[in-house]
Structure 1
Amino acid sequence: MKELIIDNRRIGAEHAPYIIAEMSANHNGSIETAFKIIEMAKRCGADAVKMQSYTADTITLNSDKADFQIEGGLWDGQTLYELYQSAYTPWEWHKPLFEKARSLGITMFSSPFDTTAVDMLEDLNTPAYKIASFEAIDLPLIKYVAQTGKPLIISTGMANDIEIMEAIDAAKSGGCKQLAILHCVSGYPAPASDYNLRTIQDMQQRFGLLTGLSDHTLDNTTAIASVALGANIIEKHVTLDRDGGGPDDSFSLEELELKHLCEASRTCWESLGQVDYGRKSSEKGNAQFRRSLYFVKPLKAGDIITPDSVRSVRPGYGLPPKMYDQVIGKKVTQDVGFATAINLDILSN
Structure 2
Amino acid sequence: MGIFIEIDGTRYGPGNVLIIAELGTSHGGDMAKAKELVSAAAEAGADCIKFQMVYADEILHPKTGTVPLPGGPVPLYDRFRDLELPPDFYRELKEFVESLGLLFLCTPFGIRSARELRGLSPLAIKIASPELTYTALLRETASYGLPVLLSSGVSTLGDIEYALSFYPRENACILHCVTAYPAPERDYNLRVLGSLSAVFGAAVGVSDHSMDPELVPALAAAMGAAAVEKHFCLSRDDPGLDDPIALPPEDFRRMVRAVRKTSRMDPAQAAAELEQERGRGLVQAVLGDGIKRLAPSEAENYQRTNRSVHALRDIQPGESIEAGAVASLRTEKILRPGLPPVWEARVIGRKARNFIPAGEGIRFEDV
Q: TM-score, length-normalised on structure 1? A: 0.71
Match of 2:179 among 165, 181, 186: 186
Report the Cα distance in structure 1 between the residues aligned to 2:10 and 2:179, rounded to whole angstroms. Answer: 27
Report the Cα distance in structure 2 between the residues aligned to 1:190 and 1:83, rounded to whole angstroms. Answer: 23
Report the Cα distance in structure 2 between the residues aligned to 1:42 and 1:261, rounded to whole angstroms. Answer: 13
C-alpha spacing 1:142/1:267, structure 2 compared with 1 (3 Å): same
C-alpha spacing 1:236/1:153, structure 2 compared with 1 (3 Å): same
Match of 1:117 among 104, 113, 116: 113
C-alpha spacing 1:69/1:102, structure 2 compared with 1 (3 Å): same
Letter in 1 for 2:113: A
Q: Is the 8 A contact 2:223 2:267 kept in 1?
A: no
Aligned to 1:168: 164
Aligned to 1:199: 192
Q: Is the 8 A contact 1:74 1:247 kept in 2?
A: no
Aligned to 1:95: 91
Report the Cα distance in structure 2 between the residues aligned to 1:222 and 1:140, rounded to whole angstroms. Answer: 32
Report the Cα distance in structure 2 between the residues aligned to 1:86 and 1:9, rounded to whole angstroms. Answer: 36
Letter in 2 for 1:167: A
Superposed CA offset, 1:272-295 (max 9, x none): 3999xxxxxxxxxxxxxxxxxxxx
Q: TM-score, length-normalised on structure 2? A: 0.68
Aligned to 2:101: 105
C-alpha spacing 1:75/1:232, structure 2 compared with 1 (3 Å): farther
C-alpha spacing 1:203/1:44, structure 2 compared with 1 (3 Å): same
Question: 5+ residue gaps in structure 2?
Answer: 270-367
Is the counterpart of residue 142 in structure 1 residue 138 in structure 2?
Answer: yes
Aligned to 1:240: 234
Aligned to 1:210: 203
Question: 5+ residue gaps in structure 1?
Answer: 276-349
Report the Cα distance in structure 2 between the residues aligned to 1:101 and 1:89, rounded to whole angstroms. Answer: 18
How much has 1:140 moved relative to structure 2? Answer: 2.1
How much has 1:171 moved relative to structure 2? Answer: 2.5
Report the Cα distance in structure 2 between the residues aligned to 1:229 and 1:73, rounded to whole angstroms. Answer: 37
How much has 1:177 moved relative to structure 2? Answer: 4.8
C-alpha spacing 1:71/1:93, structure 2 compared with 1 (3 Å): closer
SS in 1 for 2:165: helix
SS in 1 for 2:166: helix
Seq. identity, %: 31
Superposed CA offset, 1:210-249 (max 9, x none): 1100000012211111111221210001011111122111
Q: Is the 8 A contact 1:25 1:89 kept in 2?
A: no
Is the counterpart of residue 69 in structure 1 residue 65 in structure 2?
Answer: yes
Instruction: Tell me the C-alpha RMSD between the 2 structures.
Output: 2.3
C-alpha spacing 1:260/1:120, structure 2 compared with 1 (3 Å): same
Q: Is the 8 A contact 1:25 1:88 kept in 2?
A: no
Letter in 1 for 2:219: A
Aligned to 2:266: 272
Q: Which has the higher contact order (CA 8 A, sep 6+)?
A: 2
